Amino acid sequence: IAVWLAMTIAMMFPTVGPMALTFHKAQAARRKRGQAFVGTWAFLAGYLLVWMASGLLAYFGAIAAETAAARLDLSAPAQGRVGGLILISAGLYQLTPLKELCLTKCRTPIGFIMTSWREGTFGALQMGVLHGAWCLGCCWLLCAIMFPLGMMNVAALASVTAIVFAEKTLPWGPAVAQAMGIIIFVYGLLIMIQPQALPIFHG
């Protein structure tokens, strides 16, 4: 479980940088004005709570899926096609209005600060949870493709992290999201045709 959570945090923590920096600057400005301020750690704690909870759910979901596959005695091609369906779903989700909404919330730190501000340490924790929830809505299916690609696949982990970072921070992030959606969708279709092309079948 610890390794699983570490991988989840490794994927998502780098992308919260712009939001954390904006929160820190807002609190620093309050401190200069003599107002009550809160450390950025409270915001980050709330953000991490969301991703740790989702990581735990994914972990137990993976165990349940493996158990079900064993009981059903699914062949390797059948398991591969399940992975293909996950990839297709992730690709299509990249092109949906919900993905666009969540991505917009994640890409506008100042807007988030202005519309979601909460006072005090608990308020900062709430802000972190809310921002984490928007980011989860943005990236949960991108994280899910790690199941068919292999949770210990370092190249896949680095690629997904790079995609999420590009989507959330680069000026052309929305275009990256849509382009990757098409690529992942096409890859999923190819896996449906040739399921044993998945990395998990090649150690």
For the four alpha carbons of 159, 162, 168 and 174, in that order, the dihedral sign comes to: negative
Q: What Cα–Cα distance (Å) separates residue 69 from each residue in 55, 63, 184?
A: 21, 10, 24
pLDDT, tens digit (0-9, with 9 covering 90-100), for 38-53 = 999 999 999 989 988 8
- Residue spans of the domains in the chain: they are 2-202
Q: What Cα–Cα distance (Å) separates residue 131 from each residue in 6, 49, 193?
A: 20, 11, 38
Q: How far apart are the first and last CA of the chain?
A: 21
Prediction pTM value? 0.86
Residues of the chain with pLDDT under 70: 1-4, 200-203
Q: How far apart are CA 2 and CA 75, in angstroms?
A: 30
The per-residue pLDDT for 187 is: 96
